[in-house]
């Protein structure tokens, strides 16, 4: 029973390139959450998705960032035209239902922009 | 707005001693949950313990316990008999009903266990 799977674990992109981060939720989970962790900081909420719907994107930067969770396949966090300030760890979490009891995080993707 | 404050950037403790990591929170919501996560140097986020706002007893999970003082809005993590493997970053976090599925994290405390 695999946990939340994120890939790649590490991603290096040059400034101006696109970064695609993938998250496969736990089996049976239809709610996905993305968080960003800048160096030496706590995690900050970005977006909450259910299958084919964005429920809350209040933490997403207004430009260059987008997220999707299609009917089939993993959730994707996409960052276009990356800049050095996008370098961070991006964590995904999932839950079976909308819950106030927390959820399980994946191991994260560490994005480095050079 | 919800806020978590962790005032200890770093803590150094001798092995086998108990350690308390401080966490205070701010919310106007009556229903909320408090969490502690451990982040070792490998980077993953490991769930440690959960306390609901209506829980009357302090949560415990093995060597971890949560000292919940609702009137003071504090949720300190206590680790008994610390081990070298406890060296990591520790984050306090909060859910609220108004916050709608969003965890709010503190800045973290880096705990170092000395042999």
What confidence tens digit (pLDDT) does each residue in A8-38 have? 999 999 999 999 999 999 988 889 999 999 9
The fraction of chain A above a pLDDT of 90, given in percent, is 78
User: What's the pLDDT score for residue B18?
Assistant: 96
Instruction: Give the confidence band of B78 by pLDDT, cuts at 50, 70, 90.
Output: very high
Q: Would you call B95 and A100 a contact, using CB atoms and an 8 Å cutoff? A: yes
Contact B93, B66 (CB under 8 A): no
pLDDT at A101 over 80: no
Contact A23, A6 (CB under 8 A): yes
Closest residue by Cα to residue B92 from A102, A110, A33: A102
The pLDDT of residue A97: 77
Picking from A22, A23, A49, A45, the residue whose alpha carbon sits closest to that of residue A35 is A45
Contact B102 A98 (CB under 8 A): no
Task: Decide if A100 and B101 are in contact by the 8 Å CB cutoff.
Answer: yes
Identify which of A8-22, A23-37, B23-37, B89-103 has the greatest average pLDDT.
A8-22
Calculate the average pLDDT of chain A: 92
CA distance A58 to B98: 14
Instruction: Give the residue from B1, B64, B71, B2 showing the smallest Cα distance to B38.
Output: B64
pLDDT at A102: 66
Quickly state the pLDDT bin for B25 (edges 50, 70, 90).
Answer: very high
The dihedral over CA atoms of B79, A89, A100, A60, expressed in degrees to the nearest 10, equals 150
Measured CA to CA, the distance from residue A111 to residue A88 in angstroms comes to 5
* Interface contact flag, B43 A101, Cβ < 8 Å: no
| Chain A residues with beta carbon closer than 8 angstroms to that of B31 | 100
Q: How far is B85 from chain A (nearest CA, A)?
A: 18
**Smallest Cα distance from B107 to chain A, Å:** 5
Q: Are strands A109-113 and A31-37 parallel, antiparallel or unpaired?
A: unpaired
As a whole number, mean pLDDT of residues B103-112 equals 95
Q: What is the mean pLDDT of residues B43-68?
A: 93
Which are the contacts of A49, defined by CB distance < 8 A and separation ≥ 6? A31, A32, A33, A34, A55, A67, A68, A69, A75
B96 pLDDT band (50/70/90 cuts)? confident
Tell me what pLDDT residue B11 has. 95
Q: How far is the C-alpha of B108 from the C-alpha of B110, rounded, in Å?
A: 7
């Amino acid at each position: 029973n695999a946990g939340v799977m994120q890939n790649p674990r590490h991603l290096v992109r040059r400034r101006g390139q696109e970064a695609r981060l993938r998250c496969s939720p736990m089996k049976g989970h239809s709610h996905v959450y993305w968080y960003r962790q800048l160096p030496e900081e706590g995690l900050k909420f970005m977006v909450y998705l259910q299958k084919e719907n964005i429920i809350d994107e209040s933490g997403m930067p207004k430009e260059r960032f987008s997220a999707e969770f299609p009917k089939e396949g993993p959730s994707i966090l996409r960052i276009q035209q990356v800049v050095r300030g996008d370098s961070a760890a991006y964590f995904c979490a999932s839950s079976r239902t909308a819950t106030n009891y927390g959820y399980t995080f994946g191991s994260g993707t560490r994005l480095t922009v050079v | 707005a919800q806020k978590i404050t962790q005032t200890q950037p770093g803590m150094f403790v001798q092995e086998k001693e108990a350690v308390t990591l401080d966490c205070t929170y701010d919310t106007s919501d009556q229903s909320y949950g408090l969490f502690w996560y451990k982040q070792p140097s490998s980077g993953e986020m490991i769930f440690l313990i959960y306390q609901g706002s209506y829980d009357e007893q302090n949560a415990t999970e093995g060597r971890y316990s949560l000292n919940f003082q609702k009137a003071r809005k504090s949720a300190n993590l206590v680790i008994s008999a610390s081990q070298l493997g406890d060296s990591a970053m520790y984050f306090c976090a909060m859910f609220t009903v108004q916050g709608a599925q969003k965890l709010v994290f503190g800045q973290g405390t880096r705990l170092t266990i000395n042999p």
